[in-house]
């Protein structure tokens, strides 16, 4: 008698509960801070015995990547001029159907702690905002050496300083990764 092959109901890399999972860490970044945060999250996922890929939304075609091989997705972006990353917002809107079927994490970068991950979450399609499994605000970094002329001018006007500063706290990456893994 031919052996019965159970249908694979798992869309991602997992064959069953307890198996290693595969996460995709999607990010936008202008000056590299959000990219660093994404790398820290990916490293934390791997340290916990799972697999993680990074997806840089600045790369051509990145927003259309297939999500079917992943068990969880995290999306991160920086705040500029009071708004969360345009590319991150566009990705969430365009891929909301795929993303709402997966454990979904959100992380935000920015120098103004009044905005943080709650403000980023409020820009998501409502169905996705209510399904967030992991959420974090990592602070931000203002490095005047990396800024263009106009950016320096704006920061000087708004913050009243030309001194580089950082509130970046990547220590939260482990907790964020654990919440994402725990939801998968």
Ligand X SMILES: Cc1cc2nc3c(=O)[nH]c(=O)nc-3n(C[C@H](O)[C@H](O)[C@H](O)COP(=O)(O)O)c2cc1C
- Which positions touch ligand X (CB under 6 A)? 29-34, 78-82, 109-112, 115, 140-142, 147, 151, 154-155
Return the number of the residue (21 or 142) whose C-beta is nearest ligand X: 142
Nearest residue to ligand X, scored by beta-carbon proximity:
110
Return the number of the residue (25 or 109) whose C-beta is nearest ligand X: 109
Q: How far apart are CA 73 and CA 71, in angstroms?
A: 7
- Residue 128 · residue 100 · CB < 8 Å: yes
Nearest distance, CB of residue 47 and ligand X, angstroms: 23
- For Cα atoms 82, 126, 115, give the angle at the middle one, nearest 5 degrees: 25
26 CA to centre of own chain? 5
Largest separation between any pair of C-alpha atoms in the chain: 78
- The number of C-alpha atoms within 13 Å of 166 and in the hemisphere containing its C-beta is 9
Return the number of the residue (167 or 174) whose C-beta is nearest ligand X: 167
Return the number of the residue (100 or 112) whose C-beta is nearest ligand X: 112
- The number of C-alpha atoms within 13 Å of 84 and in the hemisphere containing its C-beta is 26
Helix (H, G, I), strand (E, B) or coil at 132: strand
E strand map for 45-184: 51-56, 72-80, 83-84, 104-109, 132-137, 141-142, 165-166
Return the number of the residue (93 or 158) whose C-beta is nearest ligand X: 158
């Amino acid at each position: 008698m031919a052996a019965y092959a159970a249908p694979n109901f798992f869309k991602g890399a997992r064959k069953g509960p307890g198996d290693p999972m595969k996460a995709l860490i999607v990010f936008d970044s202008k000056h590299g801070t959000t990219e660093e945060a994404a790398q820290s999250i990916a490293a934390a996922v791997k340290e916990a015995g799972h697999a993680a890929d990074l997806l840089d939304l600045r790369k051509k075609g990145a927003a259309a990547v297939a999500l079917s091989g992943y068990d969880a997705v995290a999306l991160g972006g920086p705040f500029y001029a009071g708004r969360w990353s345009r590319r991150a917002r566009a990705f969430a809107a365009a891929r909301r159907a795929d993303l709402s079927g997966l454990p979904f994490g959100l992380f935000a970068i920015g120098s103004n702690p009044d905005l943080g991950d709650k403000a980023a979450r409020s820009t998501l399609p409502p169905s996705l905002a209510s399904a967030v499994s992991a959420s974090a605000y990592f602070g931000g970094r203002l490095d005047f050496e990396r800024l263009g002329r106009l950016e320096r001018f704006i920061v000087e006007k708004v913050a009243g300083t030309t001194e580089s500063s950082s509130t970046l706290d990547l220590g939260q990456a482990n907790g964020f990764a654990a919440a994402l893994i725990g939801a998968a």
